[in-house]
Amino acid sequence: MSRDPSNCQLVSVVVRSIGRPSINRALRSVEMQDYRYIEIVVVNARAKEHPPLPCDLTLPVSLVESHRDLNRPQAANVGLDQSRGSYIVFLDDDDFFDHDHVSSLLACLRDKPDHLVAYAGTRVLDEKDEIRSVLDLPFNRLALLKNNYIQIGAALFSAQLLAYGCRFDEDMLLFQDWDFWIQACRLTPFAFTGRITANWRAFSGGSGAGLGKNLNGANNVAYTRKIHEKWAALRSRLTEKYKYAVGRGLGLLSKARSHDAQKWIAVAKSIESGKLPSD
């Protein structure tokens, strides 16, 4: 499969839904994308039948009825299984994209064909859709192993990740997207667009991973610990490699061997960027 995100490659936008009215705004933000080769996959995460979707959408839409209650990672995996696109991006049913979100992510991957994931910055919005903060950190794999700074709707990834075994951990009732990004960062560097084109309505919803009423502090602590425990060996291995490379580089610099030192500094940067494999 070619990794060049040209205009002939289908992008699947997966929307996990519990039937909230806010899904209409989310879907219309997909409809407004300036990249048009898109399919929308709505996964009904409730046993109850989903309310009708807007009938005036011109992009192809499929509604996947599970006929049972699904937790968030289960619904995400159903969405992966039902996607036909070469590239996949998630959109929660209360969030929305800027009109050029998909096209700018694809352009970023076109410029970096050895990357399988691209992500954008994200506005963190309150109940009135006013900006409270922004998530716009450049990629650093070691930082990602400590904290999540990539909102689920911010990233577009190649479907090749699924062939490599990336799935949502159905035991991660919180932060399953963070866990998915860590799985991916073992396989590929992430490209950062440097633009802010995703919008996270962090104060709405009921995941407990947001802000305000959508914040469950105890669950946040528990699942952060669970993520850290799951990936402790990877974090330790990469951290030790990074410290060793930096130490060798600094040691060589102190001996005025700058050419050799730069090689080790480059190794350290590759560990951070994800260009050096994790194993």
Q: Which residue segment(s) compose the domain that 196 sits in?
A: 11-230
Pick from 211, 113, 115, 201: nearest CA to 155: 115
225, burial (CB in 10 Å: exposed 0-12, middle 13-18, buried 19+): exposed
What is the tally of structural domains in the chain? 2
Tell whether 63 and 161 lie within a shared domain.
yes
- Whether 5 is in a domain gets the answer no
> pLDDT for 41-96, tens place per residue?
999 999 999 999 998 999 999 999 989 999 999 999 999 999 999 999 999 999 99
Within 59-188, strands assigned E span 61-65, 87-90, 96-97, 117-125, 131-135, 155-158
Tell whether 175 and 252 lie within a shared domain.
no
- Whether 161 is in a domain gets the answer yes
Tell whether 221 and 244 lie within a shared domain.
no
Tell whether 258 and 209 lie within a shared domain.
no
Tell whether 205 and 251 lie within a shared domain.
no
- Whether 278 is in a domain gets the answer no
pLDDT of residue 209: 53
- pLDDT for 2 beyond 50: no
Give the separation between CA 101 and CA 87, rounded to whole angstroms.
Answer: 13
Q: What is the mean pLDDT of residues 198-210?
A: 73
Tell whether 180 and 262 lie within a shared domain.
no
Tell whether 245 and 197 lie within a shared domain.
no
Q: Report pTM.
A: 0.92
Tell whether 69 and 175 lie within a shared domain.
yes
- Whether 279 is in a domain gets the answer no
What is the amino acid identity at position 173?
A: L
As a whole-number percent, the residues of the chain with pLDDT over 90 amount to 86
